[in-house]
Structure 1
Amino acid sequence: MTASDISENQHEYADSSPDSSAAFVGAVDLVLADALTAAAVGLHEARGRDDTLRTAVQLAEKIVPGADCAGISVVERTGSVSTVAWTDETVRVIDADASYGSWDGLRSAPVMRIDDTTAWEGCGPALAAANLRSGLFLRLRGRQRSFSVLTLYARKPQAFDDRAAHIARLLAAHIGIALETAAVQEQLAEAMHTRDVIGQATGILMGRLNIDAAQAFEHLVRASQQGNVKLRDIAARIVDAATPE
């Protein structure tokens, strides 16, 4: 379900009577609930972090009223900004060039809204030059040293009202949880792979040096410490060297 679907369904219930007004509000709430449910399902079905990011920005552009394009960027405490997903190339370029201070307010508040970018000292000049006149920025769940930002832009000023900001916050909550879940799944997959590689390397050393498993693992640890190389990288080198071409 998209933002246009919401708009079309709203008109079906437009009427001047009080009862019809109540029905209209209820219908809008139901359509929004359906849209957010569909978004949650779409995020859950995404495969991996990259697919989750792509799905997230596409959903944000479609569901949040007034949005013309969307992106997700990661803001590091050091000041660097990296754009990791976008629906329009302009978003990628502008967000990647954003300064740390542009979104610093999101550390203490979950939402920043810019009604007219021509009057904004942050990325305002670049956004106005790209004909993006409104901005809505939402902090997603993040680590202690960094946080992610969902950026929404519109080509007209004052495009995002309170309702749009509310919808964006609900969607941002879904996106934040989905990204954390994807990150945990990738960490688990990496841990499983690391365990398998270390196990293979341990077995190779046991056969090659005629030692037991504990001694083989200690051998790997010493090599890691002496060479200042991660244990999994040492193990991977041993496995690669023992694998026939």
Structure 2
Amino acid sequence: MTADAQDGWIGSAPHASVTDSAVGVEGLDKLALHLGDLARFLQEQGSVEETLQGIVDAAVVTVPGAEYAGLSVVRGRETMSTPAASAEVVDQVDQVQIDFQEGPCLDVLYEKHTVWLPNTAEERRWPRFAARARELGIGSMLSFQLYVTGDDLGALNLYSRHAEAFTDESEQVGLLFATHAAVAMADAQERAHLSQAMGTRDLIGQAKGILMERYKLTSVQAFALLVRASQHTNTKLAEVAEYLTRSGELVGKRGGDE
């Protein structure tokens, strides 16, 4: 996120007030304004990818101690990916978790909302991961659970080059930030799913129109023909409709199918 974009949602002090003062009454007031601006900024993003990138970029200038940030998604407690990161080193560190199958996102984040890794040089829970993270220049981490659905998990991970970089204030601010981030992620994904559903509906409508015109069918009959083609070819209905509108041919249709 550029400096101009930061100024657009953080306000007159894009890098200062939230992270440079203790979370007292005045600090909480500033934090509330900051997070309100952040929520509006994230809501204005045009895609899920832009929303996720906005979250990690904003985390770095919001949570005390954070120098890098990334969003991790773990599926089935095994498969981990990083859909958004503020720097290349985040992808590298997360890849270490994947390679060694150990680390905060693959372990206790399923049981705890927050996980601290104060010093990678002294970490004993994930020794191989911590040693490699240290080699990559990471001194400490702070991770927040964003959601858990069955065996799937989403997490916000914060990184610093320094040991003991995160404090109680980091956790307080980070928990509030993570709440806004989780809402923004869910909202962006819901908008994307809605947009995709509307696109699929329109595509099926176009395909039905082609069949109705070509074979003088009713809307119900045309839809039934699409369903039959989908079932006979084991192809998703949306894919059948897309192929028909693009090629003019009904996938899997035989002479007797008309």
TM interval, shorter chain, is: 0.7 to 0.9
How far apart are the structure 2 equivalents of 1:207 and 1:145?
48
State the Cα deviation string for residues 54-106 of structure 1 (Å, max 9, x = none).
10001101100010100001111151111111111010121133145422211
2:167 counterpart of 1:168? no
How far apart are the structure 1 equivalents of 2:163 and 2:226?
61
Partner of 1:87: 86
- Which sections of structure 1, spanning at least 5 residues, go unmatched? 12-23
Alignment of 1:86-105 (within 5 A): 86-99=85-98, 100-102=101-103, 103=105, 104-105=107-108
Partner of 1:131: 137
In the alignment of these two chains, the number of paired residues is 230
RMSD over equivalenced CA pairs, Å? 1.9
Partner of 1:217: 223
Partner of 1:108: 111
2:141 aligned counterpart, secondary structure = strand
Alignment of 1:170-209 (within 5 A): 170-209=176-215
Q: Contact between 1:43 and 1:56, CA under 8 Å: does it hold in 2?
A: yes
Partner of 1:226: 232
Distance apart, 1:118 and its partner CA: 1.8
Percent of paired sites with the same residue: 31
The AA in structure 1 aligned to 2:246 is D
TM-score by length of 1: 0.88
State the Cα deviation string for residues 122-158 of structure 1 (Å, max 9, x = none).
3211211112111001111243341111110111111
Q: Contact between 1:3 and 1:65, CA under 8 Å: does it hold in 2?
A: no
Q: Contact between 2:96 and 2:132, CA under 8 Å: does it hold in 1?
A: no
- Pick the structure with more helix per residue: 1
The AA in structure 1 aligned to 2:93 is I
2:83 aligned counterpart, secondary structure = strand
The AA in structure 1 aligned to 2:119 is D
2:58 counterpart of 1:59? yes
Partner of 2:5: none
TM-score by length of 2: 0.83
Distance apart, 1:36 and its partner CA: 1.7
- Which sections of structure 2, spanning at least 5 residues, go unmatched? 1-9, 250-258
